Structure 1
Amino acid sequence: MTAVNGSAPAPAEWDAEHAVHAAEAADLVGAQFPALAGAPVEPLATGWDNTVFLVGGRWIFRFPRRAIAVPGVEREIAYLPGLAPHLPLPVPVPELAGRPAGGFPWPFWGARHLPGRELVDAGLPDARRTVAAAGAGAFLRALHDPRLVEEAGAGLPRDPLRRGDPSVRVPMARERLERLAGQGLWEPDEAVTDLLAEGARLGASADRPVVCHGDLHPRHLLVGEDGRAAGVIDWGDLCLADPAVDLSLAYSAFTGPARSAMLSAYGPVNAERELRARVLAVFLCAALAEYAASIGHMAMCRETLTGLRRAVGG
């Protein structure tokens, strides 16, 4: 961030309030889970809200970076063990729940490591994403089964970030797109402008909510070497919401035959739900592109800028 009038730069919204490093992670894990004491600890991934380490080559441990992420970590611990058996793709199942200790102020958890690469890092061209898309569609069909609300999702908050409400997300998307354009990363697109204008006329959905991942974008879909969907990670925004919140993946990550494969595996999506999903796809891609550019993650930046074009395309 740029300093103003010689003052210190304003912190970015993804800056850590407490960034766990490998040595601290090793101390926390070893002290609370003696069977893993002395196991190798390797950085695996960092996001806006959490830092993830691979421990002993078999476990992933997820540590919040910001206080705002703590309720999400607590939801993952509480709900993912009950959700996992209902889903056709692997998801992280917290088996080891860690407590605040040694100066680290928040809970954390450990789960068995899921093989696969984030879609943003897999390098798959659009033409080779059909099988991943079909797997994602079948996964969301199972996750969005209305019966799952009572069986494994009772008590979840209802769309706390209002991601299914285009009247909220449209102005946020416009702000981020303006910043991307100012950085020379994105050239304003009339199709995106028109989509956001159409979406701005919609408010919150009146449809019955379903269990939603809540933040499903190309970083959170894992794919295997064969290009198939291999898992879905990062459930900190797990909630009840309109299915459009997760269906945004169809428009941010896939296009053409791949999108058709995802929607065919999922089931019918009406025009209003599609519009909600496309608007959220624009917002998420713009947010991720801005973040990726700031940390120098060029593969993510390219993927999400391409996602802006997918979101308004066929």
Structure 2
Amino acid sequence: MTYLGEGWDSTAELVDGWVVRRPRRPEIGPQLLREAAVMPWLAPRLPLPVPVPEIVSQEPVVVRHALVRGELVSLTAVQGRQLGEFLRALHAVPVEEAARRGVGPMPLPIDRFRAEVRVPGGAELLAELDGLPADTLVHGDLGPEHVLGRDGVLTGVIDFGDLHVGDAAIDLAWALHSTPPEFAGALAETYGVTRELRERALIWHRLGPWHEVLHGNDIGDPEVVEVGLTGVLERLRTG
């Protein structure tokens, strides 16, 4: 058994070649069970390997899936094109079929944002969230730790716990606004990013650290809160 680490929602261990995941909090159990129901249907539609969990136990919740091999990537133009193709395929999946498998919208904690993240310019950013579309199947948490590669190419995308029906631009936030120009440009060209999509992606990019503040409050860790607040202010300033 090898301990692989933990995210905000679950822990992961490598046991006999399987990645075994357990929820860190009771409310995450249904999320892992939903992944086990959705990913076998979704995986064949995508051009890169993704985790396909199966249920080991429902009480307590334990799921497992084959290891998606790879490491953190260097973010080249080749990989940008690959991720652009991946997102184009994911965002083309019919949301009606996803809904039949239990995937729906994921409401934002707007009230908590207002109460717990009080910074100059914060109210204006939250106002920009009004009216954003929610009509696309999205990964919902796409960042550098969830995109794997090896030998200069992508080898997989992991962590679909936040899969939901939302704004396609949320999956472009990191990819367009926190990556090298050659990666972002290749992705944008392959995906077909419009000016409107890029602007919406910037809104989601600015909002990212807000979730870190809330997470720090949830686990009672002032250092996590401070890191989150620093990120909030930096992104509001640099936009």
With the length of structure 1 as denominator, give the TM-score of the two structures: 0.61
Q: How do residues 38-57 of structure 1 correspond to structure 2 at under 5 angstroms?
A: 41-56=1-16
Residue in structure 2 matched with residue 110 of structure 1 by the alignment: 64
Q: 1:221 to 1:288 in 2, by over 3 A?
A: farther
Structure 1 residue corresponding to 2:20, chosen from 61, 65, 75: 61
Quote the Cα distance in structure 2 between the aligned partners of 1:154 and 1:258: 35
Fraction of identical pairs, as percent: 32
- The Cα offsets for residues 222-253 of structure 1, whole Å up to 9 and x where unpaired, read as 22242x22211111111111212212232454
Q: Decide whether the 8 Å contact of 1:172 with 1:283 is kept in 2.
A: no
The match for 1:154 is 100
Change (3 A) 1:277 1:48: same
Q: Which residue of 1 aligns with 2:165?
A: 240
Matched, 1:203 2:163: no
- Residue 267 of structure 1 and its aligned partner are, at CA, apart by 1.3
Task: Please report how far the alpha carbon of residue 142 of structure 1 lies from its aligned counterpart in structure 2 after TM superposition.
Answer: 0.1
Residue among 63, 75, 81 paired with 2:40: 81
1:21 maps to: none
Amino acid at match of 1:230: T
CA displacement at 1:264 relative to structure 2: 1.1
Closer, same or farther: CA 217–156 of 1 in aligned 2, 3 Å = farther
In structure 2, give the amino acid aligned to 1:89: L
* CA deviation map 1:19-75 (0-9, x unaligned): xxxxxxxxxxxxxxxxxxxxxx1101211110001112x211111111121221011
Query: 1: distance between equivalents of 2:43 and 2:165?
Result: 16
**Alpha-carbon shift at residue 263 of structure 1 (Å):** 1.3
Query: Which aligned pairs between 1:76-225 and structure 2 lie closer than 5 A?
Result: 76-94=35-53, 96-100=54-58, 105-117=59-71, 119=72, 122=73, 124=74, 128-145=75-92, 147-162=93-108, 168=110, 172=113, 175=116, 193=121, 197=124, 200-205=127-132, 207=133, 209-225=135-151
CA contact (8 A) 2:105 2:134 kept: no
In structure 2, what residue type is equivalent to 1:197? E
Q: Report how far residue 198 of structure 1 moved.
A: 5.5
Preserved contact between residue 251 and residue 277 of structure 1 (Cα < 8 Å): yes
Q: Identify unmatched segments of 5+ residues in structure 1.
A: 1-40, 179-187
Q: Secondary structure at the match of 1:68?
A: helix
Per-residue deviation, 1:173 = 8.9
2:183 to 250, 254, 258: 258
Q: CA RMSD in A?
A: 3.5
How far apart in 2 are the matches of 1:107 and 1:149? 27
C-alpha change, 1:264 and 1:288, in structure 2 (3 Å) is farther
Segments of structure 2 that go 5 or more residues without pairing to the other structure are none
1:184 paired residue number: none
Structure with more strand by fraction: 2
> Contact 1:278/1:311 (CA < 8 Å) preserved in 2?
no
Give the direction of change, closer, same or farther, for the CA distance of 1:89–1:72 in structure 2 (3 Å limit).
Answer: same
Q: Do the aligned partners of residues 173 and 279 (structure 1) sit closer, same or farther apart at CA in structure 2, a change above 3 Å counting?
A: farther
Matched, 1:229 2:154: yes
Give 1:176 deviation, angstroms: 5.3
Cα distance in 2 between the residues matched to 1:84 and 1:311? 38
Measure how far apart 1:152 and its partner are.
4.8
Within 5 Å, give how 1:29-44 maps onto structure 2.
41-44=1-4
- Relative to the length of structure 2, the TM-score reads 0.78
Are the equivalent residues in 2 in contact too, given 1:221–1:233 (CA < 8 A)? yes
